[in-house]
Amino acid sequence: MLYGIFEAIFIQFPFQLLVSEAVFLTDSPKRTHFLPRLLTGFLLQILLSALWNAVLTPYESTSLFYYMLLYLGFAFFTAIPIWGSFDLELRELIFILAGGYATEHMTFALSRIILQKLHNLYPLYGSLPHLLLTRYVIYLAGAAAVYLLIIRPNKKANQLSDGDFRIVVLAFIIMVFAIGFSVYWSYPEEYMGTPMGDVICPSYSFLCCALVLLMEYYVLRENSMKREQEMMEQLLQISTAQQKSSKEAIDIINMKCHDLKHQMKALAKIEDDRSRTEYIQEIQDAVSIYDATYHTGCSALDYVLREKTLIFNERGIEFGCMVEGKMISYMASADVYALMGNALDNALERVMKEKKGERIISFQIRHHNDMVLIHLENRCSRMLQFENGIPVTDKKDRSQHGFGVKSMRYIVEKYHGELFMSLKNGKFNLDILLPSQEEA
């Protein structure tokens, strides 16, 4: 009975595929209620595979096309537990199905070659150990080998959603043709046990499937390098903008220092004590604006706030700040400076388009449900268009703008956080959720 269960094609082949596909899912995000979804998906997949096998069984002895339909149907059904349990895009699912099928078929081809060289038969002959070894255990080993040799070394580039959809589909087509040729040469009885059926054709299939995997990961690596290059260009542009902002702050200080020199000379000429006291008070009020000191618990954030506050005050912007900088002290100083500096610069650019008296920016960093919430809010009376959660720039040359927001999202995702932007009731809201310091 046990042998009969493991021998069933709708049990063993989906198992081989799912094991091969699983190694591509190691870093994929899981859906809520993962285990119930996974178990339900498995049951549904087994039921549909058994039904598919029963429907096609009458055609088994009349057409080799039967095997193509049978195995591709099994592959399609394995998408059910994967799609239901993991949060994947369509291109990611196609990538995993193609990669998993290629991995399974490489193991199948290699096992046939090895058994032929050992003068053993690939077809089953009633032995449970032989069945478990050639239909189950060897596929676990094959999947592990692909993970160690291909997937893990390319983990940095393993961002499936960034893959080129056309190349993924092309890889899938190549894989289907490789399997088709393998089926054509492997299942006719005259090729069973021959070098053509057990060595030459499996070798060809192995090479084609290896090409599928290499092609997929080559595309991923190229996309990863392209993405990193774009981010470097974006960060360079942000650095240039922030240098301009710092220069502006220094120019403001120099200008005020120059004015103070003349004011001090004028003060020396004032003889009336009351007038002198009033003049001194005016000077003190003017100087106090540029003496903003922050002690938030994050030195990089303190620096950003001092610089931006100087500019806000000079331009007549009302700035409210309630932050606990120690919550983000685990972030690299360069990331804090780029993220917060860019966010405040964007808010500054928006409020400067508002009327005087309505130029208001509010900035908070606080706890929110065991997370760190960074909330930046500014007045925005204009309508904005959003694409993929990011406001579309209204500048003519869009290719040279929008980098700032993308780099912010890049930094947030680097720390496993989420970034949200919205426009409600005449206010632009930027919300960033990050893991707390304890969880980071």
Residue 434 has pLDDT above 90, yes or no: yes
Tokens of 315: 């331009």
Give per-residue pLDDT as tens, 328-370: 999 988 888 888 988 998 899 889 999 888 899 999 999 988 8
* 249 contacts 211 by C-beta, under 8 angstroms: no
Mean pLDDT score, 267-292:
60
Give per-residue pLDDT as tens, 28-82: 889 999 999 999 999 999 999 999 999 888 776 656 677 778 888 898 899 999 9
Prediction pTM value:
0.56
Residue 398 has pLDDT above 50, yes or no: no
CA-based nearest residue to 101, from 122, 78, 123, 85 = 78
CATH of domain 294-440: 3.30.565.10
Tokens of 396: 């003519």
Which of 5-14, 255-264, 430-439 has the largest mean confidence?
Answer: 5-14
**DSSP per-residue string spanning 352-391:** TTSPTT--EEEEEEEEETTEEEEEEEEE--S---EETTEE
**Where is average pLDDT lowest: 137-146, 186-195, 282-291, 420-429?**
282-291
pLDDT band at 112; cut points 50, 70, 90: confident
SS3 (DSSP) at 4: helix
> Which stretch of DSSP H or E encloses residue 54?
helix 34-56
Per-domain residue ranges of the chain: 2-231, 294-440
Q: How confident is the model at residue 117, as a pLDDT? A: 74
